[in-house]
């Protein structure tokens, strides 16, 4: 975070707490539920929580909120750890809410002993009905007046497995007439005979989110527990539990979650996209997950920059996905290696060039000369892009046309002398001539041309598959669009170019590098690549083509 920026409201709170001496140092946590892969919204929470402790010299725990055994898996735990690390953050401790099951159980026992919790045998529908409505108070049922001894016995029997799922719950005894529905005797424990990814079959009762989250914060001495706005109405319960149990007074603060155009960001919806095969897995490069963005070639730095730019707000808004893409371009422009790849080839023959191969030097990245150069083989037969040639060209067409000259990037100026066609009149190849004195870097030809084309040498080109991605959804505000979000899937979000031709340096380039294919966009090597076939993902286009489409429409 840059020093000249004003503080966000959470930083103001933290600074006040440090200045007043309330805390000597801060401890935050990032608390994912391991029920899916992390998405860009989580990245915002990660950058905020870890960013605070970095800025103020504190620490951040990674705590898995794994209190719901039926949806959680070890695969998700592993992916979450990988993503946080990749984003560039180090947690102080790796913790699990399930580590605290015994402690949480004892907390519930303490509440029962204080007359502040009871076992309720009602069916869930009855409990819901008796809760009342926001305008009508709830009803206190007969189980509410059970004796402490009876409650303790029943709770222990619940733990021992005497009852089936849903037969009993434990509720905090607070206020059935509270204006806050969360305070109307919320359920704090439920029976669930399910295998847990870490505690196995040790438990058949599990704490509810509201009884696990705040207490886990307290157990770890979290100073600032930061979550999204939907938890505002949970805060009184968070404080109530801490007060009644007389444990470490962690405090909850809420910020606006990230919403982004053309994107869904709920794990439930992302899971649907995966299981119903609308995409090829959690890390399909069109997904909003961090693993998808990594695979697509987004640098971690660009995601951190994005989170910094959008800031921390108290009101929800919708962020333009173009801003994220802008951050990606800005970063890649500084780091990507320039390479040449022809997507749709047209063969040209340089008739006055000898039958040899010449190696031309060209910089890897003109923005960073320390990255050196690579050599590009140049020879008599080359491929250029089919749409870089026009037989009947309009005025101001600066690419190749009969009689016109262009520069081949890092090579020579050539002129198109003759268009060779097959029997059906289709263009087969172009015959060109080159100007030997026009070599890039030592051009003495005195000729100036307006167009520069990318190219590859036919003999040494390597075949590649190119995957071009577009927005996964056709509407801006997917989450608020009417009906099923899947109705808005863009059917053309993936376009595959099966037979592109790449310059040979790409065969030996480090796959972790991002590339700018000259005039084409930013690309990265995909893990589907084999020895025989390189596969590239388009990370982002050179310019924002979508903005133009929207203007046209
Ligand atoms: P989802 O609705 O996508 O399933 P979640 O809130 O259930 O997300 P958790 O694993 O519980 O996911 O979230 C871990 C942390 O990340 C929480 O503190 C949560 O508030 C935060 N978080 C989740 N989504 C966003 C978002 N879109 N923007 C900012 N923070 C988020
Ligand atoms: Mg959640």
- The token duo for 457 is 């040498």
Domains 9-255 and 267-337+464-552 are alike in CATH topology: no
For residue 546, is pLDDT > 90? no
Q: How far is the CA of 268 from the centre of ligand 2 (A)?
A: 10
Residue % of the chain over a pLDDT of 90: 95
Collapsing DSSP to helix, strand or coil, 18 comes out as helix
Collapsing DSSP to helix, strand or coil, 507 comes out as helix
Report whether 327 contacts 111 (CB < 8 A).
no
Question: Is 325 tagged catalytic?
Answer: no
Tens digits of residue pLDDT in 20-36: 999 999 999 999 999 99
Residue nearest atom 29 in ligand 1 by C-alpha distance: 257
Report whether 79 contacts 38 (CB < 8 A).
yes
Report whether 313 contacts 48 (CB < 8 A).
no
Give domain 267-337+464-552's CATH number out of 1.10.1750.10, 1.10.8.100, 3.40.50.300, 2.40.240.10: 2.40.240.10
Dihedral pair phi/psi, residue 546, rounded to 5°: -65, -40
Collapsing DSSP to helix, strand or coil, 485 comes out as helix
Q: From the centroid of its chain, how far is CA 421?
A: 49
pLDDT of residue 73: 86
Taking residues 475-502, what's their average pLDDT?
A: 96
Q: Which ligand is nearest to the CA of 33?
A: 1
What does the angle CA 77 – CA 78 – CA 81 come to, to the nearest 5 degrees? 85
Dihedral pair phi/psi, residue 433, rounded to 5°: -130, 155
pLDDT of residue 4: 56
For residue 3, is pLDDT > 90? no
Collapsing DSSP to helix, strand or coil, 376 comes out as strand
pLDDT of residue 71: 79
Residue nearest atom 1 in ligand 1 by C-alpha distance: 266
Question: Which one of 228, 316, 479 would you pick to mutate in the ligand 1 pocket, going by the greatest count of ligand atoms within 8 A of its CB?
Answer: 228
- The token duo for 529 is 């690549």
Residue nearest atom 23 in ligand 1 by C-alpha distance: 42
Q: How far is the CA of 326 from the centre of ligand 2 (A)?
A: 29
Domain regions of the chain by residue span: 9-255, 267-337+464-552, 341-454
Count Cα neighbours of 352 within 13 Å in the Cβ-side half-sphere. Answer: 11
Q: Centre a 10 Å sphere on the Cβ of residue 153 and count the other Cβ atoms it contains.
A: 13
- The token duo for 533 is 């076939």
pLDDT of residue 70: 81
Taking residues 76-100, what's their average pLDDT?
A: 97
Q: How far is the CA of 42 from the centre of ligand 1 (A)?
A: 6
Count Cα neighbours of 429 within 13 Å in the Cβ-side half-sphere. Answer: 12
Residue % of the chain over a pLDDT of 70: 97
pLDDT of residue 190: 98
Residue nearest atom 25 in ligand 1 by C-alpha distance: 41
Q: Ligand 1 site: residues with CB under 6 angstroms? A: 31-33, 41-42, 44-45, 227-228, 257-258, 265-267
pLDDT of residue 415: 98
Q: Which ligand is nearest to the CA of 30?
A: 1
Taking residues 46-52, what's their average pLDDT?
A: 98
Q: How far is the CA of 39 from the centre of ligand 1 (A)?
A: 9
Dihedral pair phi/psi, residue 396, rounded to 5°: 65, 20
Q: How far is the CA of 35 from the centre of ligand 2 (A)?
A: 9
For residue 550, is pLDDT > 60? no
Q: How far is the CA of 266 from the centre of ligand 2 (A)?
A: 9
For residue 549, is pLDDT > 50? no
Cα separation, 277 vs 282, whole angstroms: 10
For residue 551, is pLDDT > 60? no
Mean pLDDT of the chain: 95
- Catalytic position from the list 168, 171, 251, 267: 267
Residue nearest atom 3 in ligand 1 by C-alpha distance: 266
Tens digits of residue pLDDT in 137-155: 999 999 999 999 999 999 9
pLDDT of residue 306: 97
Question: Which one of 35, 40, 42, 263 would you pick to mutate in the ligand 1 pocket, going by the greatest count of ligand atoms within 8 A of its CB?
Answer: 42
Q: Which fold does the domain 341-454 belong to in CATH?
A: Ribosomal Protein L25; Chain P (2.40.240)
Cβ neighbours of residue 91 closer than 8 Å, sequence gap 6 or more: 30, 50, 60, 61, 62, 84
Residue nearest atom 10 in ligand 1 by C-alpha distance: 32
| Minimum-distance ligand 1 atom for the alpha carbon of 44 | 29
- The token duo for 375 is 């050599």
Cα separation, 445 vs 437, whole angstroms: 5
- The token duo for 205 is 């009762």
Q: How far is the CA of 27 from the centre of ligand 1 (A)?
A: 19
Question: Is 314 tagged catalytic?
Answer: no
* DSSP string for 438-474: G-TTS--S----S-EE--EETTT-EEEEEEEE--SBS
For residue 2, is pLDDT > 50? no
* DSSP string for 197-238: TTTBTS-SEEE-HHHHHHHHHHHTT-SEEEEEGGGGGGHHHH
Give the model's confidence band at 261: pLDDT under 50 very low, under 70 low, under 90 confident, else very high.
very high
Collapsing DSSP to helix, strand or coil, 535 comes out as strand
Residue nearest atom 2 in ligand 1 by C-alpha distance: 266
Question: Is 267 tagged catalytic?
Answer: yes
Cα separation, 87 vs 185, whole angstroms: 40
Report whether 26 contacts 14 (CB < 8 A).
yes
- Catalytic position from the list 159, 257, 409, 415: 257
pLDDT of residue 258: 97
Q: Which fold does the domain 9-255 belong to in CATH?
A: Rossmann fold (3.40.50)
For residue 433, is pLDDT > 80? yes
Taking residues 497-512, what's their average pLDDT?
A: 95
What does the angle CA 231 – CA 236 – CA 237 come to, to the nearest 5 degrees? 85
Give the model's confidence band at 531: pLDDT under 50 very low, under 70 low, under 90 confident, else very high.
confident
Collapsing DSSP to helix, strand or coil, 316 comes out as coil
Strand partners, 226: 253
Cα separation, 171 vs 217, whole angstroms: 21
Return the sign of the alpha-carbon dihedral for residues 65, 68, 69, 71.
negative
- The token duo for 253 is 């603060």
């Amino acid at each position: 975070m840059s020093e000249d920026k004003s503080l966000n409201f959470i930083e103001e709170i933290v600074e006040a707490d440090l200045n007043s001496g309330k805390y000597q140092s801060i401890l935050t946590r990032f608390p994912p539920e391991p029920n899916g892969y992390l998405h860009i919204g989580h990245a915002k929470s990660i950058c905020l929580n870890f960013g605070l402790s970095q800025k103020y010299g504190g620490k951040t725990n990674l705590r898995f909120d794994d209190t719901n055994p039926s949806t959680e898996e070890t695969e998700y735990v592993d992916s979450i750890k990988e993503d946080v690390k990749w984003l560039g953050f180090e947690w102080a401790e790796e913790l699990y809410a399930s580590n605290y099951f015994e402690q949480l159980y004892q907390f519930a026992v303490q509440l029962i002993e204080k007359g502040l919790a009871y076992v309720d045998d009602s069916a869930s529908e009855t409990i819901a009905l008796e809760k009342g409505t926001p305008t009508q108070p709830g009803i206190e049922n007969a189980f509410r007046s059970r004796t402490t001894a009876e409650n303790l016995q029943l709770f222990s029997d619940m733990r021992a497995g005497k009852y089936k799922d849903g037969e009993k719950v434990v509720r905090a005894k607070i206020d059935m007439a509270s204006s806050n529905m969360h305070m109307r005797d919320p359920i704090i424990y439920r029976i669930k005979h399910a295998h847990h990814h870490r505690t196995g079959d040790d438990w058949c009762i599990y704490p509810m989110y509201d009884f696990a989250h705040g207490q886990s914060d307290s157990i770890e001495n979290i100073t600032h527990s930061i979550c999204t706005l939907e938890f505002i109405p949970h805060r009184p319960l968070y404080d109530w539990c801490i007060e009644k149990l007389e444990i470490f007074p962690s405090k909850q603060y809420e910020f606006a979650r990230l919403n982004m155009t053309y994107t869904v960001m709920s794990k439930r919806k992302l899971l649907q996209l995966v299981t119903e095969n609308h995409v090829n897995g959690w890390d399909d490069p069109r997904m909003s997950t961090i693993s998808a963005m990594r695979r697509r070639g987004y640098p971690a730095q660009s995601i951190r920059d994005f989170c910094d730019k959008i800031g921390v707000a108290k009101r929800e808004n919708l962020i333009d996905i173009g801003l994220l893409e802008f951050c990606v371009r800005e970063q890649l422009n500084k780091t990507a290696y320039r390479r040449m790849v022809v997507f749709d080839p047209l063969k040209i023959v340089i008739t006055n060039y000898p039958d040899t191969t010449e190696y031309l030097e060209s910089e890897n990245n003109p923005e960073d000369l320390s990255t050196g150069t690579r050599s590009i083989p140049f020879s008599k037969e080359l491929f250029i892009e089919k749409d870089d040639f026009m037989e009947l060209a309009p005025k101001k067409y600066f690419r190749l046309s009969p009689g016109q000259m262009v520069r081949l990037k890092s090579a020579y100026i050539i002129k198109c002398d003759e268009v060779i066609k097959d029997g059906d009149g289709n263009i087969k190849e172009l015959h060109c001539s080159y100007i030997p004195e026009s070599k890039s870097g030592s051009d003495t030809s005195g000729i100036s041309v307006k167009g520069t084309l990318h190219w590859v040498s036919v003999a040494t080109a390597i075949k590649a598959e190119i995957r071009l991605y577009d927005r996964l959804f056709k509407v801006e505000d997917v989450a608020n669009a009417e009906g099923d979000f899947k109705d808005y899937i863009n059917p053309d979000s993936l376009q595959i170019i099966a037979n592109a031709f790449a310059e040979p340096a790409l065969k030996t380039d480090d796959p972790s590098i991002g590339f700018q294919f000259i005039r084409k966009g930013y690309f990265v090597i995909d893990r589907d690549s084999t020895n025989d076939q390189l596969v590239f993902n388009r990370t982002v286009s050179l310019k924002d083509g979508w903005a133009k489409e929207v203007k046209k429409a």
